[in-house]
């Protein structure tokens, strides 16, 4: 099984991964063992070049961002679960299913805004695993989503599916099969992305 290990104040050590996709959508040659940058400063992104030793990068989970809590939005047919601390702010839920995920509204989730099938698709498309849902009181947990892969989101996090993350405490409700890892170095919920790359203007180049 492909694995990811967070080296102390250093890169992600990725082993036995076959599918690595760059921010341009093209496959990158994956070696049996690779060090991927998570400090945000490497000149050879997504690979580590040792910059973390110079820029004072800390891999500590600082806290102070969104609270690690899972909120339930109950509808007539289903319950939608949401943990804001996990959200990478990719915007796929609000862009694709605005009738349910209503950016700027309060409450921002309307579980009766679409059919269960549409909600299930939105959950599958959420790269961070921040949202989930239950039907008939049973949480619907997706099977492993295809082959293990790491996708380098443009100017954003690593979008990971089907890869075991070793030695980390998981946030509430977090999917262990679908999650996003910080690579800008600024997340307060390291190693998970919390959307900080947006506010600091993280870029792949420059």
Spell out the per-residue pLDDT of the chain, length 206, in tens.
899 999 999 999 999 999 999 999 999 999 999 999 999 999 999 999 999 999 999 999 887 778 889 999 999 999 999 999 999 999 999 999 999 999 889 999 999 999 999 998 998 899 999 999 999 888 887 644 568 999 999 999 999 999 999 999 888 888 888 999 999 999 999 999 999 999 999 999 75
Cα–Cα dist 77/205, whole Å: 46
CA-based nearest residue to 65, from 160, 183, 179, 190: 190
Cα–Cα dist 174/196, whole Å: 18
3-state class of 125 per DSSP? helix
Q: What's the pTM value of the predicted model, to 2 decimals?
A: 0.92
CA-based nearest residue to 194, from 179, 177, 175: 179
Domains of the chain in sequence order? 71-139 (3.30.70.20)
Query: How are beta strands 33-36 and 131-135 bridged, if at all?
Result: unpaired
Question: 95: part of which helix (H) or strand (E)?
Answer: helix 92-96
Give me the phi and psi of 144, to 5 degrees please. -50, 125
Spatial contact of 190 and 62, defined as CB atoms under 8 Å apart: yes
Helices (H) and strands (E) in the chain, counts: 3, 13
Cα–Cα dist 58/52, whole Å: 8
């Amino acid at each position: 099984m492909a694995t990811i290990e967070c080296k102390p104040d250093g890169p992600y050590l990725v082993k036995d991964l076959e599918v690595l996709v760059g921010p341009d959508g093209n496959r990158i040659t994956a070696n049996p063992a690779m060090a991927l940058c998570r400090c945000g400063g490497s000149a050879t992104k997504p690979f580590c070049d040792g910059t973390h030793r110079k820029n004072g990068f800390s891999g500590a989970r600082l806290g102070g961002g969104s609270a690690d809590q899972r909120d339930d939005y109950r509808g007539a047919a289903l319950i939608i679960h949401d943990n804001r601390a996990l959200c990478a702010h990719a915007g796929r839920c609000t862009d694709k299913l605005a009738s349910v995920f209503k950016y700027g509204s309060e409450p921002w989730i309307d579980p009766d805004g679409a059919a269960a099938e549409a909600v299930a698709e939105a959950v599958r498309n959420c790269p961070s695993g921040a949202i989930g849902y239950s039907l008939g009181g049973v949480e619907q947990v997706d099977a492993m989503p295809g082959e293990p892969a790491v996708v380098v989101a443009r100017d954003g996090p690593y979008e990971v599916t089907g890869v075991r993350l070793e030695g980390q405490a998981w946030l509430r409700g977090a999917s262990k099969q679908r999650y996003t890892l910080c690579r800008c170095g600024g997340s307060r919920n390291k190693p998970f992305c919390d959307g900080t790359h947006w506010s600091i203007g993280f870029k792949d180049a420059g």
